[in-house]
Copies of this chain bind each other. A is one copy, B any other.
Amino acid sequence: MKYLIGIDVGGTATKAGIFKEDGTLIDKWSIDTEIGDNGIHIYDDSTALIREKMEEFSIKQKDVLGVGIDMPGPVYADGHLGKCSNIFITGGYPAEEISRRLSGIKAVAANDANAAAFGEMWQGAGKGYSSVCMVTLGTGVGGGIIMDGEIIAGCHGAAGEIGHIKVEDRETEVCNCGGKGCCEYYASATGLVRVAKRIAANGDPLRPFVPGQEILHPESGISRFGEELTAKDVCDLARDGDACAIEAVDFSMDKLARALGYVSYVADPEVFVIGGGVSKSSDILLPLLNEKIVQYTPLVREKERNVISAKLGNDAGMYGAAALALYKIF
């Protein structure tokens, strides 16, 4: 029996798992991500626990095909790590750090969004495809693109930055990237809530909501939720027929479809896999996305663009890291 290990380093938690070569998960665990000291604790803590787990499951070093690690920052073609803003690590070679601490077990590193795309392609919604664009709708909109089994890692750390594709010229507020009218400003979980509040307050998805302002649609459920409103609430309200929520979801998915259309006209993946928290409301979001992306890609002859829901949830990165160890080490 041969084994793979996947490590998914996040801003607060680092998850890891041991897999059989066929993708079966044997065990997974999560530890706090100890930030600082340029990542040394992350590498020490992760590998110490891997050694314990290997002992627990009587896995010999020679039976581990490899370890994959994904990081919340760009990883260049030579394995060098770019700036990880969430965990204050810059530089170094994560794969070498891991390998050195595990007596030379082979290791490979990748960006977390790319690893998640790889994970969904290996054992999730993208199984059977070789070209996948994974879109994660959370606080922001993340993107990872695999074409013909190869990660599109890019040359300046910008590949897959779908969230910051400009999709709206009339926006007046500035995104934290420094641009205006970015896809994630409307289509992330935060973005959908923003759009919903703007519509309920002003009847206009582009006019900023100001706390305490007069509300145009006090009858909408969105107004009742107030500060506590979540993206799931907006989707639930839309499902129940709330007019403002329906308009918000429609506007939000239109902006996302536009960005995905751009991805189609640049890389043209077989399938878009939508993950992240918001994707739990995929029953209401995916039909809209599938309908709208067609409008932005008239050159694509197929009538149906394949936008599907992710399957692995928060484990996608961990799966992908293990898959990278399987496919990218030898």
Known: A298-B177, A298-B179. A268 touches B164 (CB 8 A): no
Contact present for A299 and B164 (CB under 8 Å):
yes
A101-127 to B contact mask, C-beta < 8 Å, 1/0: 000000000000000000000000000
Distance (whole angstroms) from the CB of A118 to the closest CB of chain B: 16
Tell yes or no: A273 within 8 A of B by CB: no
Tell yes or no: A237 within 8 A of B by CB: no
Q: What residues of B have a CB within 8 angstroms of the CB of A270 in the complex?
A: 155
Please list 16 pairs of residues, one from A and one from B, whose beta carbons are closer than 8 Å in the complex, sorted by A's number.
A131-B154, A143-B266, A147-B152, A147-B154, A148-B150, A152-B266, A154-B267, A154-B268, A156-B264, A158-B300, A159-B266, A159-B267, A160-B265, A161-B265, A166-B296, A179-B298
Q: What residues of B have a CB within 8 angstroms of the CB of A156 in the complex?
A: 264, 268, 300-302
Among the 9-residue stretches A5-13, A21-29, A255-263, the one with 4 or more Cβ atoms under 8 Å from chain B is: A255-263
Copies in the complex: 2
What class of interface size applies to chain A in its complex with B?
A: 35 or more
| Chain A residues within CB distance 8 Å of chain B | 77, 131, 143, 145, 147-148, 150, 152-162, 164-166, 169, 177-179, 258, 261-270, 296-302
Contact present for A159 and B261 (CB under 8 Å):
no
Contact present for B131 and A268 (CB under 8 Å):
no
Q: What residues of B have a CB within 8 angstroms of the CB of A150 in the complex?
A: 147-148, 150
